[in-house]
A and B are shown apart, each in its own frame.
Chain A
Amino acid sequence: NAGVMQNPRHLVRRRGQEARLRCSPMKGHSHVYWYRQLPEEGLKFMVYLQKENIIDESGMPKERFSAEFPKEGPSILRIQQVVRGDSAAYFCASSPPGLAGGFHEQYFGPGTRLTVT
């Protein structure tokens, strides 16, 4: 069973461009979480999605950031008009379906390192 896949592993964008980060959850997992790790910091929660639904986006910046998890295909984290402060490692985690609410074990992907020049 392959783990959580993220691509690309490294992404370089110029200021003002768009960045698209992809996350394929583990087989059988229907919950996806995105975290951001700024330099010298721990991971910070951004958004929690289930198929076709955003469940919790309390950690998402209000502008330029969006996330989706379509019925088919990977979850996408999209950052429009990137700025230098967006440079960070972005991690995706996935968890299996279970009871509504409550804790689900999260399995982390290898991360995408975004550099904005």
Chain B
Amino acid sequence: AQTVTQSQPEMSVQEAETVTLSCTYDTSESDYYLFWYKQPPSRQMILVIRQEAYKQQNATENRFSVNFQKAAKSFSLKISDSQLGDAAMYFCAYIPRNTGNQFYFGTGTSLTVIP
């Protein structure tokens, strides 16, 4: 079975500080993609960052970076210099490369940014 687990239902961070959101997944596939999506109150799904499993280098997008540990099946998101606009639900997602019809999403982490 392919599952994605986010064990932190809620997190908070002080503005300008750094926060790390955790995600683990289970799969027997060797080639896949991992994503972090942001869902603000508007409910629009916004792609934050993407990682390809065959790439050892961790993906980075401005203040957002990931720590991808393939052997441990772990994919955490680090947000540096947190801003008020970062407050949202964050979903970790997985999709296999060769049979990539559907995303598997975690249950989300609600991030609060404290001014």
Contact = CB atoms under 8 A, between A and B. Distances in A.
A11 to B, nearest CB: 14
A59 B102 contact: yes
A68 B102 CA distance: 17
A113 B39 CA distance: 14
Question: How many A residues are at the interface, by size bracket?
Answer: 20 to 34
A33 B102 contact: yes
Nearest to B100: A103
A112 to B, nearest CB: 10
Given A108-B44, A113-B43, A48 B102 contact: yes
B33 interface: yes
A103 B102 contact: no
Interface in B61-76: none
Contacts of A42: 4, 91, 93, 105-108
- Choose among A56, A59, A103 the residue with the greatest number of B CB atoms under 10 Å from its CB: A103
A111 B43 contact: yes
A69 interface: no
Contacts of A44: 105
A41 B103 contact: no
Given A91-B45, A103-B33, A108-B45, A45 B100 contact: no
A104 interface: yes
A12 interface: no
Contacts of B28: none
B56 interface: no
28 contacts: A33-B101, A35-B103, A35-B105, A40-B107, A41-B107, A41-B108, A42-B4, A42-B91, A42-B93, A42-B105, A42-B106, A42-B107, A43-B103, A44-B105, A45-B101, A45-B103, A56-B102, A58-B102, A91-B45, A101-B99, A102-B99, A102-B100, A103-B97, A104-B100, A106-B103, A108-B44, A110-B42, A111-B45
